[in-house]
Amino acid sequence: MADSRPIGVFDSGLGGLTVVKELKKYLPFENIVYFGDTGRVPYGTKSKETIEKYAIQDEHFLLQKDVKLIVAACGTVSSVAAHTGDNLPVPFVGVVEHSVKAAVKATKNKKIGIIGTAATISSGAHEKAIKKLMPDAQVFANNCNLFVPIVEEGWYNQNDAVAVETAARYLEPLKTAGVDTLIMGCTHYPVLEPIIAKIMGDTVTLINMGEATAVYVAELLKEKGLLNETKNPSYSFFVSDKHKSFRSQAERLLDSEIKETQVEQVDINSL
């Protein structure tokens, strides 16, 4: 039986749209409700307690939209506060586990790199998951905190001097380490993928957490009989700040038109 309830997706800001893009690719008939916490971005520099609080609020908001599944399209939440989804009435999916599986499968020299926010890297979530699957793997991690504000500002053109120079500095230790696989451990980072790929070179496989997660969500919905069969899916976007800015950036990231009526600003603290 078809289930037309939407998939709920949340992130600290724009980055989770990279997951939405992949969900639309692998699940073209699914309705999607997205919440971007643009008023409190970034999450990656916040304390564990604050990240947990924000995650719970975001999940509660999506549950009010009668979603059938929630995706924490945020590397920080998935690394630090995934437990907040343990007792939800709907399936909860993070982005760490599936990207790690993809990285372990892809690596040939067992040298895996991870880039993420400070909170993600300090949590050690990716490294622990990698070591569980591949005990002899060498893991090299670096936090890239400036990537999130760069993406939120829209400075991700391949020739943008700020983005290119920042990426070069962050990625140099990983190049020196000789990693052949790199997990982009924040959903904002695939926006910078052309720049990251150019710096790392053709021999390094980049792991997009959004794609790995979308593939898993497609399998999960099919397994649970929750797929939607409607041919005209709807997409709704909610933000906590910068309504107009979000819409123009979202259109650019999703490569599709978003009507003004599809985006609504909400006060997440009052819900």
Structure tokens at 50: 């604050």
H-only helix segments in the chain: 17-26, 48-63, 75-80, 96-106, 118-123, 125-133, 147-152, 161-177, 193-200, 209-223, 243-254
DSSP assignment of 118-161: HHHHHHTHHHHHHHHH-TT-EEEEEE-TTHHHHHHTT---TT-H
Whether residue 115 is found in the same domain as residue 202? yes
What's the confidence (pLDDT) of residue 1?
A: 65
Whole-model pTM? Answer: 0.92
What's the confidence (pLDDT) of residue 98?
A: 93
What's the confidence (pLDDT) of residue 112?
A: 98
In CATH, what number is assigned to the domain containing residue 48? 3.40.50.1860
Catalytic residues, by residue number, are 74, 186
What's the confidence (pLDDT) of residue 45?
A: 94
Classified as helix, coil or strand, 14 is coil
What's the confidence (pLDDT) of residue 271?
A: 72
Question: Where does a domain end: 157, 186, 209?
Answer: 209
The torsion angles phi and psi of 266, rounded to 5 degrees, stand at -130, 155
Whether residue 127 is found in the same domain as residue 184? yes
Start-to-end CA span in the chain (Å): 32
What's the confidence (pLDDT) of residue 269?
A: 87
Whether residue 105 is found in the same domain as residue 186? yes
Length of the chain (residues)? 271
Question: Where does a domain end: 209, 230, 253?
Answer: 209
Radius of gyration of the chain (CA): 18
Vertex 45: Cα angle to 39 and 159 (nearest 5):
80
Structure tokens at 145: 């905190």
Q: Does 64 fall in a domain?
A: yes
Q: What is the pLDDT along the chain (271 residues), one digit of tens a residue?
A: 689 999 999 999 999 999 999 999 999 999 999 999 999 999 999 999 999 999 999 999 999 999 999 999 999 999 999 999 999 999 999 999 999 999 999 999 999 999 999 999 999 999 999 999 999 999 999 999 999 999 999 999 999 999 999 999 999 999 999 999 999 999 999 999 999 999 999 999 999 999 999 999 999 999 999 999 878 899 999 999 977 789 999 999 999 999 999 999 999 988 7
Q: Does 2 fall in a domain?
A: no
What's the confidence (pLDDT) of residue 184?
A: 97
Question: Where does a domain end: 178, 209, 240?
Answer: 209
What's the confidence (pLDDT) of residue 230?
A: 76
Whether residue 169 is found in the same domain as residue 203? yes
**Do the Cβ atoms of 145 and 44 come closer than 8 Å?**
yes
**Do the Cβ atoms of 4 and 28 come closer than 8 Å?**
no
Give the amino acid at 157: N
| CA separation for the pair 208, 223 (Å, rounded) | 23
Using CA atoms of 69, 75, 79, 82 in order, give the dihedral in degrees to the nearest 10. Answer: -20
What's the confidence (pLDDT) of residue 231?
A: 81
Whether residue 159 is found in the same domain as residue 112? yes
| CA separation for the pair 205, 107 (Å, rounded) | 8
| CA separation for the pair 70, 217 (Å, rounded) | 10
Whether residue 89 is found in the same domain as residue 158? no
Whether residue 86 is found in the same domain as residue 112? no
What's the confidence (pLDDT) of residue 229?
A: 81
Q: How many domains does the chain have?
A: 2
Whether residue 101 is found in the same domain as residue 18? no
Q: Does 1 fall in a domain?
A: no
Give the torsion sign (CA, 163, 165, 166, 169): positive
Q: Does 225 fall in a domain?
A: yes
What's the confidence (pLDDT) of residue 97?
A: 94
Q: Does 28 fall in a domain?
A: yes
Structure tokens at 206: 């980049």
Half-sphere exposure in the Cβ direction for 44 (13 Å, CA)? 26
Whether residue 48 is found in the same domain as residue 69? yes
Which class for 11: exposed (0-12), middle (13-18), buried (19 or more C-beta within 10 A)?
buried
User: Residue 121 is part of which domain span?
Assistant: 96-209
